[in-house]
């Protein structure tokens, strides 16, 4: 059990199951500040996709605008990427996923990009349950425009300039739960062990997976008085449970004491294991999730883990009942009705 919870797989091989090396998942060189939380997340994304043996060519990366939104250029070079406009990644990603529902979509956004300018699109995307991963690299500030507060900044949090935020923070996890999202998690860039398993679980999820990751901005929000820096986050992180992930092909017998671990089977046959810590948290209940998030806020905890999980929720693609083939490349015979069809339409108009 412990090894499962640590890495999610047994010893990672040099080549994954589709014969690719970890280097096949690398991206371009990052231009972010040294130590930026966003880079730590990119590293875990590379590792998760590599270890899950996802073909990079089948992945499409999306982002908005911000330091965080630059990162798709820094991981998985062999995947198509699209750095869209500020706050509008959800629409672009939605269109692309409709055009080709076989793509595995991963979106990276920032707290500014998602919680302010892009809040409307984010909410509608969650509501539609577009089957892709949506990561918010949450640092409580606008990094790229030099450190103004974002809408996720905690009350009382202080900028380097001494300005104090006295507005209530927006909790994107709570919002996602409220909008019916089937996979909601919060991670911390400084906790790669947890992050990797959250990411793997999100890859296995068929539906929208919202992952809010506290990702310190070392340049503008990592000082005394900031509430999203490394030290503050470490001090206040509260784990809901320990997360493990077992791929479908792994015949790992995990033994654990009865009642201590919850197993959730995903569509692809993989399993998410949630090991109980102090509290007995039920990730399947949205109400419990909202209550717990609320309490965390009141008590100043940085709550991390799989906040809510419901693998059964139908995705937008299946609701639209589109053909199993890719819309983008359907041949003309299938997209242009026959001559008789036009003749009939014309006749009805005569």
Ligand X SMILES: Cc1ncc(C[n+]2csc(CCOP(=O)(O)OP(=O)(O)O)c2C)c(N)n1
Give contact residues for Mg ion (rule: CB under 5 A). Answer: 110-112, 139
- Angle 212-311-116 from CA coordinates, rounded to 5°: 25
Euclidean distance between CA atoms 22 and 12, whole angstroms = 10
- 127: CB partners within 8 A, 6+ apart: 179, 180
Euclidean distance between CA atoms 135 and 38, whole angstroms = 11
Asked if residue 141 binds ligand X (CB under 6 A), the reply is: yes
- Binding residues for other proteins restricted to 65-124, rule: CB under 8 A: 72-73, 77-85, 88, 90-100, 102-103, 120-121, 124
CB 283, CB 262: distance < 8 Å? yes
Euclidean distance between CA atoms 303 and 53, whole angstroms = 30
Choose which of 42, 83, 121, 150 interacts with ligand X (CB under 6 A).
150
Asked if residue 15 binds other proteins (CB under 8 A), the reply is: no
Beta partners for residue 72, in sequence order: none
CB 165, CB 155: distance < 8 Å? yes
Euclidean distance between CA atoms 285 and 307, whole angstroms = 9
Alpha helices in 23-141 (DSSP H): 37-51, 67-70, 89-99, 111-112, 119-128
Choose which of 163, 164, 167, 327 interacts with other proteins (CB under 8 A).
327
Euclidean distance between CA atoms 200 and 195, whole angstroms = 9
Give whichever of 51 and 113 is closer to Mg ion, judged by the CB atom: 113
Choose which of 81, 143, 182, 286 interacts with ligand X (CB under 6 A).
143
Give whichever of 287 and 343 is closer to other proteins, judged by the CB atom: 343
Size of the site for other proteins (CB under 8 A): 59
Asked if residue 153 binds ligand SF4 (CB under 6 A), the reply is: no
Asked if residue 135 binds ligand SF4 (CB under 6 A), the reply is: no
CB of 262 to other proteins, least distance (A): 35
Query: One symbol per residue from 5 to 44: x for binding ligand SF4 (CB under 6 A), - otherwise; what is it?
Result: ---------------------------xx--x-x------
Asked if residue 139 binds ligand SF4 (CB under 6 A), the reply is: yes
Asked if residue 92 binds ligand X (CB under 6 A), the reply is: no
- Binding residues for other proteins restricted to 33-72, rule: CB under 8 A: 55-58, 60, 72
Angle between helices 192-204 and 37-51 (to 10 degrees): 50
Euclidean distance between CA atoms 253 and 276, whole angstroms = 18
Euclidean distance between CA atoms 315 and 42, whole angstroms = 26
Q: Parallel, antiparallel, or unpaired: how do β-strands 209-214 and 261-265 relate? A: unpaired
Euclidean distance between CA atoms 288 and 297, whole angstroms = 14
Part of the chain binding other proteins (CB under 8 A), chosen from 216-224, 237-245, 258-266, 318-326: 318-326
Asked if residue 145 binds ligand X (CB under 6 A), the reply is: yes
Asked if residue 323 binds other proteins (CB under 8 A), the reply is: yes
CB of 155 to ligand X, least distance (A): 18
Asked if residue 113 binds ligand X (CB under 6 A), the reply is: yes
26 three-state secondary structure = strand
Give whichever of 36 and 274 is closer to ligand SF4, judged by the CB atom: 36
Choose which of 48, 67, 108, 272 interacts with ligand SF4 (CB under 6 A).
67
- Binding residues for ligand SF4 restricted to 216-245, rule: CB under 6 A: 217-220
Q: Which of ligand X, ligand SF4, other proteins, none interacts with 82 (beta carbon under 5 to 8 A by kind)?
A: other proteins
Report residue 279 as tokens: 């509290």
Q: Which residue is nearest to ligand X (CB)?
A: 110
Closest CA to 143 of 230, 69, 74: 69
Instruction: State the residues that interact with ligand X by CB under 6 A.
Output: 65-68, 86, 110-113, 137, 139, 141-145, 150
Instruction: State the residues that interact with ligand SF4 by CB under 6 A.
Output: 32-33, 36, 38, 67, 139, 143-144, 217-220
């Amino acid at each position: 059990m412990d090894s499962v919870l640590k890495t999610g797989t047994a010893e990672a091989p040099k080549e994954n199951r589709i014969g690719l090396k970890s280097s096949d998942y690398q991206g371009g060189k990052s231009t972010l500040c040294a130590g930026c939380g966003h880079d730590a997340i990119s590293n875990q994304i590379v590792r998760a996709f590599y270890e899950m043996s996802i073909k990079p060519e089948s992945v499409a990366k999306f982002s908005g605008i911000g330091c965080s939104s630059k990162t798709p250029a820094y991981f998985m070079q062999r995947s198509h990427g699209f750095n869209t406009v500020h706050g509008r990644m959800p629409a672009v990603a939605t269109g692309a996923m409709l055009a080709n529902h076989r793509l595995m979509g991963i979106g990276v956004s920032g707290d500014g990009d998602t919680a302010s300018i892009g809040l409307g699109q984010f909410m509608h995307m969650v509501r539609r349950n577009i089957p892709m991963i949506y990561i918010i690299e949450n640092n409580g500030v606008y990094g790229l425009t030099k450190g103004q507060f974002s809408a996720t900044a905690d009350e009382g949090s202080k900028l380097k300039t001494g300005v104090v935020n006295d507005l209530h923070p927006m909790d994107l996890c709570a919002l996602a739960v409220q909008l019916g999202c089937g996979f909601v998690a919060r991670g911390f860039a400084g906790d790669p062990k947890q992050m990797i398993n959250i990411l793997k679980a999100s890859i296995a999820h068929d539906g929208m997976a919202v992952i809010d990751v506290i990702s310190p901005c070392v340049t503008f929000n990592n000082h005394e008085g900031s509430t999203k820096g490394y030290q503050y986050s470490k001090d206040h992180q509260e784990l809901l449970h320990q997360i493990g992930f077992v791929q479908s092909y792994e015949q790992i017998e995990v033994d654990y004491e009865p009642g201590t671990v919850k197993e959730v089977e995903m569509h692809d046959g993989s399993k998410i294991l949630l090991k109980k810590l102090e509290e007995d948290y039920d990730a399947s209940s949205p109400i419990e999730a909202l209550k717990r998030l609320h309490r965390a806020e009141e008590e100043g905890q940085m709550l991390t883990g799989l906040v809510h999980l419901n693998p059964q929720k139908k995705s937008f693609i299946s609701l639209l009942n589109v053909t199993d083939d890719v819309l983008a490349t359907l041949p003309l015979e299938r997209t242009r009705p026959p001559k008789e069809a036009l003749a009939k339409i014309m006749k009805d108009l005569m």
